[in-house]
Amino acid sequence: MADTLVAKLGPEVDTSEFSVDYLQTQLTRRKKSPVKAVILDQTVLSGIGNIYADESLHLAKIHPERRAGTLLPVETKRLHAAVKTIMAAGITHGGTSFSRYVNALGGTGDYLDQARVFRRQGLTCGVCGSVIIKTRVSGRGTHLCPKSQLL
Ligand SMILES: [Zn+2]
């Protein structure tokens, strides 16, 4: 486990290093892992927390448990764009709520008021009207729409 302590952190989402090709390479390298576990891996991407992962996967219409190696190129592209969009949305909501959002994993920051799926289990999906569920993926609480997000 000592290796994980010295493992190099992946690029930040808002850098040019985080390209569609880069994401594709990482997904291929971890093709048997659930896609959520890959984007949460800090050696793949720096700074993505549990909320961002759930929100990005919903925006990209990809089920968190999808094996990383099964994503079609168009889905990888969509996921790449979604991660960037969701991260930018968090940042534009201002330093205070953003910090609270990142650090407390779900305080009462502005962003959560307009979350797509995070902590919205039992409520309806804004895309299709189905009921959002909460499950666990790789040991993390995970929120998703079983209809909009393809497994
Ligand atoms: Zn839905």
Please state, in angstroms and rounded to a whole number, the distance separating the CA atoms of residues 89 and 84: 9
Q: Where are the alpha helices (DSSP H) in 1-151?
A: 2-6, 20-29, 35-40, 50-59, 73-92, 95-104, 110-113
pLDDT at position 114: 72
pLDDT at position 106: 47
Q: Enumerate residue ranges in the chain where pLDDT < 50.
A: 1, 94-108
Cα 9 to middle of ligand 1, angstroms:
33
With 0-12 / 13-18 / 19 or more C-beta atoms within 10 angstroms meaning exposed / middle / buried, residue 134 is middle
pLDDT at position 98: 44
What CATH code would you report for 2-114? 1.10.8.50
In the chain, domain spans: 2-114
Amino acid at 6: V
Residues around ligand 1, an ion, CB closer than 5 A: 125, 127-128, 130, 145, 147-148
Q: Please, which residues bridge with residue 140 across strands?
A: 137
Cα 138 to middle of ligand 1, angstroms:
22
pTM: 0.84
